[in-house]
Chains A and B, each alone.
Chain A
Amino acid sequence: MFSRRMIAVFLLALAVVGSAACGGNKEETAAPAAAGPTWKPTGNEGNVTGTIAFAGAAPAPKKLDTSNDGACGEAFANDVLVADGKLQNVFVYVKSGLPADANFEISATEVTLDQKGCVYMPRVLGIQAGQPLKIVNSDQTNHNIHPVPKTNREWNESQLKGQAPIIKKFAKAETQIPVKCNMHSWMLAHINVVAHPFFAVSGADGSFSIKGLPPGDYELEAWHERFGAKTLKVSVAAKADAKADFSFDAAKAYNAGSLKVQPALVLP
């Protein structure tokens, strides 16, 4: 009767639907291209260098409580790192002054974010939109990596003990993206995604340098997770070095926590 033909058709339909559904996840890769031409260096570029001074006493080293995971060992808080009155982990970038429609070549060099001793290394990093981020787990324990961006896509992936590095890209420029490991709640990094390659993070001596800037007037922003952002205007002459020194004050703008408020009502 109806049985055989009907069954055959039904199974075929299910098979078609089943195979159609097997698309898999597509990773966002390409940075959105601006309308203008691709920017090329002309040979006239200059540099901006500077140091981040820190007024006030350096905080005493604080030993974190890592007792829930024996594989972590001893870890110390590294949110505020000061040496000789200089502040480390300040993110400095060109906030404005570049031609708005320019397309900058995206670096193919991987930026590494390591998880070592249950602490992110580095704690603050800059990366170009579309540039590969290589996430490494050097620990003998399992982590999860959970960036909480506002405009980029949020993701949350585990990286198990001994697992190969994960390569990720951020599609849109967005600074101050907090990255958390929910397993080790003290672990925090900040990823700053910029459309152009003109950014730097201050080193242990508080110094930074942004190289290869075309001559012009710029506004620089320096941002520290605890002390907030400061801006500075700087002019770069052809083939010259410009100075841009920032200073943060321990007594001011202590930015406790890094809570971002999620809107209660999202209307389409």
Chain B
Amino acid sequence: MGRLLAILIWLITAGTAAFFAWSKTKTGWWFPEAISEHAAAMDSQFNLTWAVVAVAFFGAQAALGYAVWKFRSKGNERATYSEGNTRIEIVLVAITGIVFIALAITGQRVWANLHLNQAPPDAVQIEATGQQFNWYFRHPGADGRFGSTSPKLYDDTDNSVGARPGPLGIDPKDPSGKDDIFGQTLVIPINRPINLTLRAKDVTHNFYAPALRLKQDAVPGLKINLHFTATKEGKYEIACAELCGQLHHQMRAYMRVVSQAEFEKWLSENAPK
């Protein structure tokens, strides 16, 4: 049984390695294409961590398999009596401690860029609002200011271009809201920093854009800022990653990354008449 178990552990370990290696070569079985400025740093931090994970996993499983193979009972022979080895213990604590904490600290750079630094002042301001089970995205229009909104004004039934108050409850009397533009698709210009303000109307949602390597809860009662820069044009998917009700899995929106010219054209086409 000892040999069988050792082989089993080794086979599982090798199988796991092979499975991950194979998955990496299959389209759609590894990371989605990355299209944001910070994604490269995130992916390289993952690769570094994944290497440590692999060493720890294979090291421990190989050693476990070896011990099981080598130290199976034979006849009446006795085991080696040993109560431990403090020196090895201390060395191990030092090594794992240093590696783990180093990983934790190197990982913070990307995080700090994302969350501790503010978006540059010329960033494109967009507000994302989650509700069961839709996303709405609002641009402030030519005046650069969002009109005030009120929950009492929410009118879900009319989400046509320029609708007031519309699903976001934009106050028709507020002049800064006159030129606000909103829709269910997030349209952003390429290579420009975007400052996204997340809101939620009912329950906690999560703005999850796999291609941007971004995920952030949209919390009722809070406005949460998130900034990023998209570096490739195209149409991408946005999902909800916080359980928000029975059709949580259908809370999908699209994000279109377009050229600056196209972005301006889109803004003028969708401006309230």
Residues of A within 8 A of B (CB): 62-69, 77, 79, 142, 144, 156, 158, 180, 182-188, 256-259
Contact = CB atoms under 8 A, between A and B. Distances in A.
B86 interface: no
A224 B115 CA distance: 48
Contacts of A259: 151-152, 154
B231 interface: no
Contacts of B247: 142, 144, 158, 182-183
Interface string B219-253: 00000000000000000000000000111001011
B251 to A, nearest CB: 8
Contact of A67 (B152, B155, B157, B185): B185
Given A182-B245, A186-B167, 11 more contacts: A62-B158, A77-B158, A79-B157, A142-B250, A156-B246, A158-B247, A180-B156, A183-B250, A184-B134, A185-B131, A185-B133
Contact of A182 (B132, B153, B165): B132
Nearest to B273: A60
27 contacts: A63-B161, A64-B158, A64-B159, A65-B185, A67-B184, A67-B254, A68-B134, A68-B185, A68-B252, A77-B160, A142-B250, A156-B246, A180-B156, A182-B132, A182-B245, A182-B247, A183-B247, A184-B134, A186-B158, A186-B159, A187-B157, A188-B156, A188-B157, A257-B154, A257-B165, A258-B157, A259-B152
Interface in B126-167: 131-135, 151-161, 163, 165, 167
A67 B185 CA distance: 7
B250 to A, nearest CB: 6
A186 B157 contact: yes
A65 B132 CA distance: 16
Contacts of B167: 185-186
Interface of B: 131-135, 151-161, 163, 165, 167, 169, 183-185, 245-247, 250, 252-254
B28 to A, nearest CB: 20
Q: Which 10 A-B pairs have the closest CB atoms?
A: A62-B160, A182-B132, A257-B155, A185-B156, A188-B157, A68-B184, A65-B159, A185-B134, A67-B184, A183-B247
B235 to A, nearest CB: 11
Given A65-B184, A68-B252, A77 B154 contact: no
Contacts of B156: 180, 185-186, 188, 257
Nearest to B254: A67
A231 B153 CA distance: 27
Contact of B160 (A63, A180, A183, A258): A63
Contact of A257 (B131, B153, B184, B246): B153
Contacts of B252: 68
A195 B94 CA distance: 78
A156 B250 CA distance: 16
Contacts of B246: 144, 156, 158
Contacts of A184: 134
Contact of A65 (B154, B161, B245, B250): B161
Given A182-B133, A185-B167, A65 B183 contact: yes
A27 to B, nearest CB: 19
A256 B161 contact: no
A164 B152 CA distance: 36
Contacts of A185: 131-134, 156, 159, 167
Contacts of B151: 259
Residue from B151, B153, B155, B158 with most neighbouring chain A CB atoms (10 Å): B158
B133 to A, nearest CB: 5
